[in-house]
Amino acid sequence: MDTSHVLPLTIITSSKTTFVSIIPRHIFAEKELHKESTMKKYTLIAGILIILNSASAQSNHTIILTKTEKDVIPEGITIDPFKGTIYVSSIAHKKIIGIDSNGVNQDFITTNQDGFLEGLGMKIDAKKHWLWAVSNEKQDNWFISKLHAFDLRTHSVKQQYILKDTTRHLWNDLIIHPNGKVYITDTYGSSIYQVDPEKQKLDVFLKDSLIAWPNGICFNANKKIYVATYSHGLIQLDPATKKLSQVKGYTDSVKAYNLDGLIYWNNTIIGVYNGAADNKDNAIVQYSLNDAGNKIVSERTIDKGNEHFHEPTTAALLGSKLFVLANSYLSAYNTNHESVNSIEDKLGPVTILVYELK
């Protein structure tokens, strides 16, 4: 490795901080995806959970209406498989919100707690009872990306990994793989990072033109990884060999090339499509795979144009129920120069749509 372009990486754990030089600079594409916001001080607002039966154009579902702040700008969602608590990350508030089984919402971590920045993807490690989350922010000329592991019981940080660079990074989503590693998509860097929590080591796992502009990520029963990319649609990755291949067979290439969050369930991939100019065309799409898991054999629309869609982003799974974060309001937020100032009347509390998969 040419160490002339290496930047320091800070790894913070619950007991120590170490510095290692392993992350090279890269030249990234010019597409702008970062969401900046001005940190404010917010008070905790408890909420309630309202579940309604509803039918959209495509699918019966239930609606979870919360009483969070209107200007959350939520992006990531995950669910505790033991307690059923839903966790939602916030871009504007730079925090994580918990919604319990009784429907009361409160902050899991508060604004900027333990250096948490603009929150994106999250996953829960059921064995360790840790919540893993990525957050990002541009500060002056620096692009800062972080991976945090929080203890679900104490809310304290267990591990934290920080990448600070003058070239652009955006750690967008992550998985906790059966091999024990955490894999992170870097949208700006057209790469995938790997974290080994046991060795407390972070490195670039893969950088390839085939995964340019990666976003959502999931894995199947055979431990193969799927990545949603804006450049080549769905990509399958074998983490053992680093082999990449396109997953073809889709009928709608516009949707296949503009998926955000991904979920794997019962030999299908479910993607959240939010690339439409109008929310009436945004959708939740389910792709059925062949036995090898490397080709789409059919696709169906679970939901399209739901009245609660305001740029849906990500999804989480609990049993056979799919929980979709329906209203990020990213279009209004980005149009307003990545700020919630003066657009509060266009925003609303966190809304989650729940679908029974089949």
CATH number of the CATH domain containing 228 = 2.120.10.30
pLDDT by residue (tens digit) across 248-283? 999 999 999 999 999 999 999 999 999 999 999 999
pLDDT of residue 35: 38
- The closest of 122, 302, 299, 292 to 221, measured between CA atoms, is 292
CA angle, 42 as apex, 38 and 46 as ends, to 5°?
140
Strand-pairing partners, residue 186, are: 171, 191
Residue 303 belongs to domain spanning: 56-356
Which candidate, 292, 286, 308, places its Cα nearest to that of 358? 286
Q: Is residue 47, in this structure, part of any structural domain at all?
A: no
Contacts of 66 (CB under 8 A, 6+ apart): 47, 48, 49, 99, 103, 105, 349, 350, 351, 352
DSSP per residue, 129-175 = TEEEEEEEEEETTEEEEEEEEEETTT--EEEEEEEEESS---EEEEE
Give 53-79 as a 3 state SS string.
Answer: EEECCCCEEEEEECCCCCCCCEEEEEE
Q: Please list the alpha-helical segments (H only) found in the chain.
A: 253-256, 330-335
DSSP string, 1-14: --GGGEEEEEEEES
Q: Is residue 35 part of a domain?
A: no
Residue 10 falls within a domain, yes or no? no
Residue type, 41: K
Residue 7 within a domain: no
Angle at CA of residue 26, ends 23 and 31, nearest 5°: 130
Domain count, the chain: 1
pLDDT of residue 70: 96
Query: Do residues 307 and 61 touch, judged by C-beta distance below 8 A?
Result: no
Structure tokens at 5: 């372009």
- Residue owning tokens 């967008």: 172
**Whether 31 contacts 189, CB under 8 Å:** no
**Does residue 73 lie within any of the structural domains?**
yes
Q: Residue 100: what pLDDT?
A: 75
Q: What is the pLDDT of residue 290?
A: 98
Are 260 and 269 a contacting pair, CB within 8 Å? no
Q: What's the confidence (pLDDT) of residue 103? A: 64
Extract the residue ranges of the chain whose pLDDT is less than 50.
Answer: 1-57
Residue 37 covered by a domain: no
